[in-house]
Amino acid sequence: MSSTTQLDGLIEFAKTVQTGSFTAAARQLDMTGSAVGKSVSRLEARLGAKLFHRTTRRLTLTNDGREYFETAARVLADLQAAEHALASRRETPVGLVRLDLPGAFGRRHVLPVLTTLSARHRRLEFSVMLSERRADIVAEGVDLAVRIGRLDDDADRVASRLGAQRLVICAAPLYLAAHGRPTTPEELLTRDCIVGWERHRQREPRWLLCDDEGRTFGQPVRARHAFSDGEALVSATLAGAGLCQLPTWLIADELADGRLETVLDAHAGAEMPIHALWPASRYLTPKVRVVIDALKQAARERNGFG
């Protein structure tokens, strides 16, 4: 049996189920009701199964018809998705892309990518929210988000890993001169620690450290100060307000020129994953796909942002 024969009547059958009658299906397919009915009858004959109970007033699916429709609907949806995917590759990125980004990371790593894309694709537009508050991307109509940290399982979202950020604990020389350098992770329970707002909301704020065998664990800390923005965390640390755990990409210059110094280096090395995230769908529009591809390219060029 050829693939064409296998598909004969499939569209007419599915459309009849969706619309409730041969006549309604015929209007959508630009056919006659008689032609749709005959196509479905030929399909039943080929399958050797009755798909509809027919009366003068209505059509209802048989058990076989219900089972076959579930499969038929998936097949047609997959075919439609494939067509959209192929078509999207040929289309120019056009329209507005709504992005939700973590503040400091978004400013440092994502905005330059968007600027480059904007110059390359003149009909591409961006609306960007920079915040540590994690938007509900489905409910709030966000096209693409970047998330740092572990993701919860969610069937409504799709994620693609971009890289990871490496974490170190650091402080300003003036703080270390006044309070000394901690020598064990447990000392963090008695020190002035500066944490992000999300961690401060936790009952027991924790920093990610590595044990002697390289395994990651959560170390409770005493959170004296909390800030909702990465740049504010850096500023407070530079001012000598306490110890802070920060990603190396955020403080590379400060570490290089000595304005910040790392501590507890034997327990450093923990990482947090970085993902691009978008609402689940069977295909991506060109405007979103081009941003995802550009972020992946930027991650490769910057060694995963680590």
Distance of CA 216 to the CA centre of its chain: 24
Flag the least confident range among 2-6, 78-82, 144-148. 2-6
Query: pLDDT (tens digit, 9 = 90+) per residue, 40-57?
Result: 999 999 999 999 998 878
- What pLDDT does 3 receive? 46
Q: Residue 27 pLDDT more than 50?
A: yes
Closest Cα partner for 135 from 144, 124, 127, 126? 144
| Apex 26 CA angle, 21 and 31, nearest 5 | 155
Closest Cα partner for 22 from 46, 1, 51? 51
- What pLDDT does 171 receive? 98
Write out the residue limits of the CATH 3.40.190.10 domain(s) in the chain. 95-164+273-305
Closest Cα partner for 48 from 25, 65, 72, 66? 65
pLDDT-derived band at 2, boundaries 50, 70, 90: very low
- What pLDDT does 199 receive? 54
Query: pLDDT (tens digit, 9 = 90+) per residue, 51-77?
Result: 999 887 888 999 999 999 988 888 888
CATH number of the domain located at residue range(s) 166-270 in this protein: 3.40.190.290
263: which strand partners?
169
Query: pLDDT (tens digit, 9 = 90+) per residue, 121-131?
Result: 999 999 999 98
Question: CB atoms < 10 A from the CB of 260, how many?
Answer: 22
Q: What is the C-alpha to C-alpha distance for residues 7 and 79, in angstroms, rounded to an integer?
A: 11
pLDDT-derived band at 189, boundaries 50, 70, 90: very high
Q: What is the C-alpha to C-alpha distance for residues 206 and 190, in angstroms, rounded to an integer?
A: 13
Query: pLDDT (tens digit, 9 = 90+) per residue, 220-240?
Result: 999 999 998 889 999 999 999
Instruction: State the CATH architecture for 95-164+273-305.
Output: 3-Layer(aba) Sandwich (3.40)
**Does residue 8 contact residue 15 with C-beta atoms inside 8 Å?**
no
Q: What is the C-alpha to C-alpha distance for residues 33 and 240, in angstroms, rounded to an integer?
A: 80
Beta pairing, strands 193-196 & 243-247:
parallel
Write out the residue limits of the CATH 1.10.10.10 domain(s) in the chain. 3-90
Higher-pLDDT residue of 58, 188: 188
pLDDT-derived band at 1, boundaries 50, 70, 90: very low
pLDDT-derived band at 193, boundaries 50, 70, 90: very high
Closest Cα partner for 186 from 221, 217, 146? 221
Q: What is the C-alpha to C-alpha distance for residues 282 and 71, in angstroms, rounded to an integer?
A: 17
* SS3 call for 270: coil
Write out the residue limits of the CATH 3.40.190.290 domain(s) in the chain. 166-270
pLDDT-derived band at 7, boundaries 50, 70, 90: confident
Query: pLDDT (tens digit, 9 = 90+) per residue, 84-102?
Result: 766 655 678 999 999 999 9
Helix count (H) and strand count (E) of the chain? 12, 13
Fold of 3-90: Arc Repressor Mutant, subunit A (1.10.10)
